[in-house]
Every structure is written in C-alpha cells, then in structure tokens.
Amino acid sequence: MVKKLTKTQLFKGKAVNLETLYRKIKRRLLEDDFRLTSEAQTEHVYHMRAEKTGVTEIIIGAVRDIELIIAGEPDSFAVIFTVGAWGKNIVSSGSTGYIVTSLIAGPAAVYGGLAATTSYIRAVAYEGDFWMEIEKYIDLQSKESKRKEAAEG
C-alpha cells in the first residue's frame, strides 16, 4: 500500500512563468531518477506523474511516485505536489521483507516493519526538501520578473 503526502499552496502576485517553473521541477525529478508516466499541459495547467520502479525501490526506497499540478496564471497560481511513499502497510512490507531476507536468513517481520517506518520517514523528508526547492524556484523567478519590470518601467 502507498501512503500519499500532499502539499498545496496558492501563490499570488509572484509574476512567475509557469512553464519555466514546470520545466525546472521536471528536470529535477528526472535528475532524481524518476520516470515520467504521464504529462499533460494546457494553457493554464501543467500536470505530470512520475514514478520510481524496480525491486530495490520497492523494498528499500522511500518515494514511490510523484504527482505535480501547477494551475493558474503568472500572478495567481496553485502548486499541488503529492509524494507516494512505500511502506504504509507494514504487514505487506513484512511479507516483502520475508521474501528477501529469507534468502539471507534474516528476521523478516522486524526488517519489514523497520523498512516501512524508515521508508515513510524518508518520503516525508524528501517531500519537505523538494517543496522548499519549489518555493526557491518561485522566489527566484518572482525576483527576476520584478527586476525586469522595474528596469523597463
């Protein structure tokens, strides 16, 4: 089972190019080894889903998938960022742990429970760190837009 962590914020008066913001976030997710599973863009909405796959990520990884929505206009927009974390269901993680650790004769239930807890904690940390980076992108773009506007005016 996957636990979802969602962060939503409305930004006003920032004068941010939403396409540029979207591209920066997308680039960062690709650098973090996410694979895009869907992507849609309209005039006022940017939406993507990305995931990590593979046995290693399933067993010990923290973040399973990401969903990002940026909607609105440069001076009034919302960012919705959802992180799916492995390990909500400790019993299923224990079973996965059993399959893996039985090959090396380890204690499966303890391993599965610890893996689930550690996975969730890492996902929360990733979500917090990534959200701070999104805010940094927004602030930098906003300052640059205001500088250009002051220079032109």
User: What pLDDT sits at residue 2?
Assistant: 56
Is residue 75 included in any domain, yes or no? yes
Is residue 152 included in any domain, yes or no? no
Confidence of residue 127 (pLDDT cuts 50, 70, 90): confident
Q: Which CATH number do you get for residue 124?
A: 3.30.310
Is residue 151 included in any domain, yes or no? no
Look over the chain and give the mean of its residue pLDDT values, rounded to a whole number. Answer: 77
- Per residue in 88-110, pLDDT (tens digit) is 433 333 433 444 444 444 444 44
To the nearest 10°, the Cα dihedral for 136, 139, 140, 144? 170
Is residue 153 included in any domain, yes or no? no
Task: Name 5's Cβ contacts closer than 8 Å, sequence gap at least 6.
Answer: 82, 83, 84, 85, 123, 124, 127
* Closest C-alpha among 3, 10, 2 to residue 135: 10
The boundaries of the domain holding residue 116 are: 2-146
- Per residue in 9-67, pLDDT (tens digit) is 999 999 999 999 999 999 999 988 889 999 999 999 999 999 986 655 555 556 788 99
Q: Give Dmax over CA atoms of the chain in angstroms.
A: 71
What's the number of domains the chain is made of? 1
Is residue 114 included in any domain, yes or no? yes
User: What pLDDT sits at residue 116?
Assistant: 47
Residue with tokens 């962060």: 7
Is residue 44 included in any domain, yes or no? yes
User: What pLDDT sits at residue 117?
Assistant: 53
